[in-house]
Structure 1
Amino acid sequence: MEFTTGGRLEVRITPADVGKRVSVRRLTGAVDGAEKFTDTVGVLTSWDENVVLITRRTGETVRIAASSLVAGKVVPAAPARRRGPAASFRELARVAARAWQPVEREALGEWELRASGGFTRRANSVLPLGDPGMPLDEALTRVQGWYDLRGLPAYIQTATGAEGTQEVLCAELEARGWRREVTAELRVGALAPLADGDSTAHVTLDRAFDEAWLRRYQRFDEPGPHVLKVLAAGPSVWFASVAGEGGVPAAIGRCVVDGRWAGFMAVEVDPARRRQGLASAVMHALAARALEEGASAAWLQVESDNEAAGALYDGMGFATHHRYHHFRAA
């Protein structure tokens, strides 16, 4: 990583660069008389009282004493090369939001407050795609009051790791005591190769889900009306199932087709039937149907610590576009 000009290390960033992507080198000590340095790349989210905060693509915030900096520069807002279909953060955020539509919503400036009786944070959190139209502290007070009235915890969904994401907002929430509870990846990939898979499993596709499908989903204690509304809503929704024992599907999935995008979610497999290709079979069938409807690109969401699902989607050609996080009010 090159920081020098004319052979000298230089710190070429200032507090005026907050919000920009930077690369810095800092002195972290000495080993056997030799100085030791550490490099950090991310968005400069704060420079206050001699402490620099840099938020990495993963959402992790690194605190650095400004006095320890030996080099630093502004770098391009996002890597020049990225695998998968080209898309902006805002486009994908809106597509994902339409796939998990809330039962109730309200605008706060350019923020959207969403509630669905607590079923899935994606439909029970604020989507802050712009300015709330008021100072941040006032907006956060309004957010907490809105969710308090509904007996729900206040969550804000933010994103990091792509051009136009919300590293600065993440840092501001952390500074106000909001806790990051969950981090997930939004991955993208080409749709046609996903539909080319071959499987011996028979997958049934339907516009609606039934009680048996819900029994395999198992993401709630009792599926109330809010669960049913969220799952059924979307531009063009398909449900997949593979027959299993006892009237419960061996595998299920959900796909929402929205223009050029096909979103895959709720892919669940009976633990006793895993490693039999059932998840892949469900994905292949849903992808083929999405192609018929004119989609060409695929997306999905997977929690960052779900290594098994991550490996499956790696093999299907999905690449991480950005990461998103749910911050909960203290």
Structure 2
Amino acid sequence: MAAEGPVQDRPEVRIDRSDVGRRVSVRRLSGFADDHRPVFRDVIGVLTSWDDGGLTVEPKAGGPVSFDERLLVAGKPVPLFPARRAPLPRTGPAELQRIAARGWPAVEREPLGEWTLRASAGFTRRANSVQALGDPGMPLDRALTTAREWYAARGLPAWVEVTTPGTPEALRAELDRLGAAYAPTLVRVAGLAPLSRLGDRAGRDRVRLARTASSDWMSLYRRVSGDPAVEEAARAVVHGGPSVWFATVHDGYGCQAEGDGTPPVLAIGRCVVDGPWACFSAVEVAPWARRRGLATAVMAVLAARAAEEGATGAYLQVEADNAGAIALYDGLGFTTSHTYHYALLPQG
């Protein structure tokens, strides 16, 4: 026995397909007891889909809950998860770098002792560099030669991620001897609870969450090129990680592009939840939509979802010369945990 009447005629159902991507509370008919009384079950989480096959809601744990639309008895949007303040996780630079690697996993990975060689068709240095943490299991000069040859075989430059502490102390001297060029990157951290409360409710209500990046989301992500191999690698990397969420703000709540071809997506962001830490990346705002608080809204909604899954700390990585991004993250309460460097090995 299903709920009677079409969804739109059920007074307790105060959600529709435009609410996909929002946090909701729903009640569904799950069966009948021995005395034939109906049994209902409730679930709170992100409404990730609603199509002809039914609805899917992702609670904070336990996997997605899917059911037929005809079983929907009640539903309504609910506020973001009320994250509680908590101290930042006690994690050193080396371990945070390892967590970051899981949150931005390369397409191809190969161990070199305790190091990891990473390649992704050239899509971002993070996914195309040696993570030089620990002992490579061979002399440093030989390890760097092995790395250079590994990347050369893939038509890629050889970047080495140098983290202090974590990277062997002698590695920097060896890189200097080889004439490596360095590019510094800041790792910024912040508490999730304050971040989840930033911005205004109207802005946060415009943000929609999804488990996959739509073509519109990818269209606003500026790091993607027109090279099919790079685009394929980009999609694999951004979808990798323990628990990945994509945030999107649509112009007109998902309306189609206007006749002039203006993209309907105004802002995007990505978050990966990994235990107590949430990684933020790919926060982009369309040039014509800046200074409206959209980046803040995206960060707040992603932070609330990460907190719902049990995370308490946020981190992100930003190039040291990106003054605009650093100023944004300063305003959101981020501080610098540590700095690491990408060292470009000269060609042999």
Structure 2 residue matching 1:317: 3-state secondary structure: coil
CA–CA separation in structure 2 for the residues paired with 1:117 and 1:290: 29
Are 1:205 and 2:209 counterparts?
yes
**Residue equivalent to 2:114:** 110
2:140 corresponds to: 136
Match in the other structure for 2:123 = 119
Alignment correspondent of 1:192: 193
CA distance in 1, matches of 2:173, 2:268: 38
Q: What is the root-mean-square deviation in Å for CA atoms of aligned residues?
A: 1.6
Contact 2:248 2:298 in 1 (8 A): yes
Deviates more, 1:240-249 or 1:87-96: 240-249
SS in 1 for 2:134: coil
Q: Which moved more, 1:90-99 or 1:167-176?
A: 167-176
Rounded to whole Å, the distance in 1 between the matches of 2:317 and 2:299 is: 14
**Aligned partner of residue 131 in structure 1, secondary structure:** coil
- Aligned identity (percent) is 53
Bigger mean CA deviation after superposition, 95-104 or 169-178: 169-178
Distance in 2 (CA, whole Å) between partners of 1:169 and 1:186 is 21
Give the corresponding residue for 1:232.
239
Q: Deviation digits for residues 128-182 of structure 1, max 9, x if unmatched?
A: 111111111111111111111111111101124xx445664223212212111x2
Instruction: Give the direction of change, closer, same or farther, for the CA distance of 1:315–1:167 in structure 2 (3 Å limit).
Output: farther
SS state at 2:199 partner: coil
1:239 Cα shift? 0.3
Relative to 1, partners in 2 of residues 1:91 and 1:240: Cα closer, same or farther, differing over 3 Å? same
CA distance in 1, matches of 2:321, 2:247: 25
- Tell me the distance in 1 between the aligned counterparts of 2:193 and 2:173: 39
Whole-Å separation in 2 of the counterparts to 1:166 and 1:140:
13
**Residue 268 (structure 1) shift:** 0.4
CA 1:262–1:152 in structure 2 vs 1: closer, same or farther (change >3 Å)?
same
Identify the residue that residue 179 of structure 2 maps to in structure 1.
Answer: 177
**Cα distance, 1:102 vs. partner?**
0.7
CA contact (8 A) 1:213 1:248 kept: no
Alignment of 1:39-118 (within 5 A): 85-118=89-122
Identify which range, 166-175 or 232-241, moves more after superposition. 166-175
Is the Cα contact below 8 Å between 2:132 and 2:167 reproduced in 1?
no
Q: Distance in 2 between matches of 1:189 and 1:224?
A: 31
Q: 2: distance between equivalents of 1:166 and 1:194?
A: 35
The question of whether the paired residues in 2 share the 8 Å contact of 1:106 and 1:114 is answered with: yes
Q: Provide, for residues 212-259 of structure 1, a one-character-per-residue CA deviation record: whole Å limited to 9, x for no partner.
A: 111100212225321111111100000001113634411100000000
- The 3-state SS of whatever aligns with 1:224 is helix
2:314 to 287, 294, 298: 298
Instruction: Please give the alpha-carbon distance, in whole angstroms, between the structure 2 residues aligned to 1:251 and 1:167.
Output: 41
Q: Does 2:304 align with 1:288?
A: yes
Residue 171 to residue 274, structure 1, CA distance change in 2 (3 Å): farther
When residues 127 and 159 of structure 1 are mapped into structure 2, their CA distance, relative to the original with a 3 A threshold, is same
| Distance in 1, Cα, partners of 2:135 & 2:311 | 31
Contact 1:154 1:328 in 2 (8 A): yes
| Residues 102 and 158 of structure 1, relative CA distance in 2, 3 Å threshold | same
> Aligned equivalents of 1:239 and 1:92: distance in 2?
22
Contact 1:85 1:189 in 2 (8 A): no
Please state whether the residue corresponding to 2:195 is helix, strand or coil. helix
Task: Determine the C-alpha separation between the residues in 2 that align with 1:85 and 1:170.
Answer: 28
> Could you tell me how far 1:318 is from its partner in structure 2?
1.0
Report the alpha carbon displacement of residue 88 of structure 1 after superposing the two structures with TM: 0.7
State how many pairs are aligned: 245
1:256-271 → structure 2 map (5 Å cutoff): 256-271=272-287
Amino acid in structure 1 at the alignment position of 2:120? S
- Gap regions ≥5 residues in structure 1: 1-82
Structure-1 separation of matches of 2:154 and 2:163: 25
Cα pair 1:84 1:318 within 8 Å, conserved: no
Q: Which residue of 2 aligns with 1:11?
A: none
TM superposition shift of 1:315 = 1.8
The answer as to whether partners of 1:238 and 1:256 remain within 8 angstroms in 2 is yes
CA contact (8 A) 2:121 2:233 kept: yes
Cα distance in 1 between the residues matched to 2:304 and 2:88 = 18
Match of 1:49 in 2: none
Consecutive unaligned residues of structure 2, counting only runs of 5 or more, are: 1-86, 252-256
Moved more, 114-123 or 300-309: 300-309
Please report how far the alpha carbon of residue 193 of structure 1 lies from its aligned counterpart in structure 2 after TM superposition. 0.6
> Is 2:222 the counterpart of 1:218?
yes
Q: Quick check: 1:236–1:257 contact (8 Å CA) kept in 2? A: yes
Tell me the TM-score normalized by structure 2: 0.67
